[in-house]
A = this chain, B = another copy of it.
Amino acid sequence: MNQSSLGVVETKFYNFAEPPQELILKSGIKLGPITLAYETYGTLNKDKSNAIVIFHTLTSDAHAAGIHKDSDKPGWWDGMIGPGKAFDTNKYFIISSNVLGSCKGSTGPASINPKTGKPYGLSFPVVTIEDMVVAQKRLIDHLGIPHLFCAAGGSMGGLQALLWSVMYPDLVHSVIAIATNPRHTAQQIALHEVGRQAIMSDPDWQNGDYYGKSIPARGLALSRMIGHITYMSDKSMEEKFGRKLIGKEKVGFDFSHDFEVESYLKYRGDSFVQRFDANSYLYLTKALDYFDLAEDGNLVSAFEKVKASLLVISFTSDWLYPSYQSKEMVKALRANDLDVSDCEINCSYGHDAFLIEIDAQSRLICHFLNRIHKEKINDRS
């Protein structure tokens, strides 16, 4: 078993109990009832000032740290969260929240529609990153936390962290946004659209009504294969696979797999099918594509209400969320006289670096959180 100093953890589920039990989404549609899956690590202090909320990527879940009591699996950021780690559970109370639209314990297209008694499928309303944040705000209220010391996340999680500072400027003291950007670009939309078309082209997709029947496994696996290429870099693929053949000395001159990279992608695609819902993939990629902090075209004014201090981290080899996009965001944040630390980490892992480059990120995050913490105490004294 992979050891984790946090020990065994479990996922909890918050069902919107207090009225309103529904959310009015950005589209204007009402959605309810709503459940959000989440985990917590560490202890909320007396003055409730040490809460950090962590947001995950597109296909991840609330299990960010520790060993899960059901699966024995370590969390996806276990190297970053725990006693003495970057997000130090001796100091901070960490909440890791799943998102609306996901299939990982929160309300999404695979959930039962109470009006029909059947899974929503495509009758689930399209949700946005804003809607996810509004739902998370309800969770944070429920936990009795009036103010977040930090909102942090990478990739899709970074968008949520940023949005917290835009939507609730008085409630967020600091933001850590990693491998992310302020608006989805044409290339990012294009890559998602191919993944969506792969799913929707699968005859088993059945217009989203496949629950209890054959799932659109081929389409979903394809979408993951495409995704996985975008999470790595040209260089990391070359270092990991190059032109290595699978257990043979020569190519086979047929259409079976010859190269390790081919079987690796197949493995990644097939294992994704076991753990993720195809409709959720459609909804979450759509939410990402709709994300645009500067809907009126002006990124500087988009950040004008933000009060948080920010740490923005990007990776040289990340071509899905390239560093220049983080830099554009940093420029717009600084134009608002905000306290922004901007760090580009030199590495070959591509977008996945945010899950792999633990040491480099830990140093930056420890330093940032310590500084913000000290400044906050000094402000008060």
| Residues of A participating in the B interface, judged by any CB pair closer than 8 Å | 26-27, 29, 122, 125-126, 183-187, 189-191, 193-194, 196-198, 200-203, 218-219, 221-222, 225-226, 229, 232-234, 237-238, 240-243, 251, 253-255, 257-259, 261-262, 265-266, 269, 282, 286, 289-290, 292, 319, 322
Contact = CB atoms under 8 A, between A and B. Distances in A.
B189 A259 contact: yes
B198 A222 contact: yes
Nearest to A269: B197
27 contacts: A29-B253, A122-B255, A126-B253, A183-B243, A185-B242, A186-B237, A186-B238, A186-B242, A187-B229, A187-B233, A187-B234, A187-B237, A190-B262, A191-B229, A193-B261, A193-B262, A196-B255, A197-B221, A198-B198, A201-B221, A222-B222, A234-B322, A243-B292, A255-B282, A258-B289, A258-B290, A319-B319
A194 B255 contact: no
B186 A259 contact: yes
A236 to B, nearest CB: 9
B290 A229 contact: no
A187 B238 contact: yes
A269 B292 CA distance: 27
A322 B237 CA distance: 14
10 nearest CB pairs, A to B: A186-B237, A27-B253, A201-B218, A186-B241, A126-B253, A186-B261, A187-B234, A187-B237, A193-B262, A194-B225
B184 A289 contact: no
Nearest to A279: B255
Contacts of A258: 289-290
A160 B94 CA distance: 57
Nearest to A229: B190
A185 B286 contact: no
Contacts of A222: 194, 197-198, 201, 222
A203 B203 contact: yes
Contacts of A221: 197, 201
Contacts of A198: 198, 222
Contacts of A189: 243, 259, 261-262
Contact of A243 (B27, B184, B200): B184
Nearest to A26: B253
B202 A290 contact: no
Contacts of A254: 126
Contacts of A322: 234
A252 B101 CA distance: 17
B234 A290 contact: no
Nearest to A283: B255
A265 B319 CA distance: 20
A186 B240 contact: yes
Given A185-B238, A185-B243, 6 more contacts: A27-B253, A183-B243, A189-B262, A190-B262, A193-B257, A201-B221
A194 B243 contact: no
Contacts of A184: 243
A193 B237 contact: no
